[in-house]
Amino acid sequence: MSRSIKAIVYQAHGKPEEVLRLEEQKLPTPAADEALVRVLAAPINPADLNQIEGKYPIRAPLPATPGFEGAGVVEEIGGSVQGLAVGTQVILPHDLGTWREACVVKADKLVTVPDKIKPEQAAMLKINPLTAWRMLHDFVALQPGDWVIQNAANSAAGRAAI
């Protein structure tokens, strides 16, 4: 893989169409406990847009690369990495900024995913499915036979709840 990648970056918060820029970045060589991951899919979520606009509760230091979710394939591993092989499909960490071609990340922050799951689906496994699970488990003790009524059932979280 080239040691240079393209990434979406913003220097200031604002409307995505006004503040996002495509930029060339140097890709570091993985340290002993890191992996180089080629990003295959990274969705655009409302939370990503809120982050860019500065409306998300936690603000990334600027300049920043957006993207809370993503999946990719391991292309290189550091010398002390165990239990992770080149060619493994992984889900990227939440705080990384996934709107980039590739990244170097601590190997223990990666979640392996079976190859039979398409990268576009794997990239969306962290936020909305867990939000649906929490809605169904953390707020009301549902019992067999109980009903759940929801609005916005067309959202990804709503579809996961269904």
- DSSP string over 65-76: ---S--EEEEEE
Residues acting as catalytic residues: 56
Q: Over the stretch 109-140, which tens digit does the pLDDT of each residue have?
A: 999 999 999 999 999 998 888 888 888 889 88
Non-local CB neighbours of 107 within 8 Å, separated by 6+ positions: 33, 34, 35, 77, 78, 81, 84
Domains defined along the chain, listed by start? 4-120 (3.90.180.10), 127-162 (no CATH)
Listed range (17-26, 39-48, 105-114, 150-159) with the worst mean pLDDT? 150-159
146 versus 150: the higher-pLDDT residue is 146
Question: Is residue 152's pLDDT more than 90?
Answer: no
3-state helix, strand, coil in the chain (%, to 5): 20, 25, 55
Give me the mean pLDDT over the 97-101 stretch. 97
- Predicted confidence band at 158 (pLDDT cuts at 50, 70, 90)? confident
Listed range (45-49, 126-130, 150-154) with the worst mean pLDDT? 150-154
Contact 12, 35 (CB under 8 A): no
pTM of the predicted structure, to 2 decimals: 0.86
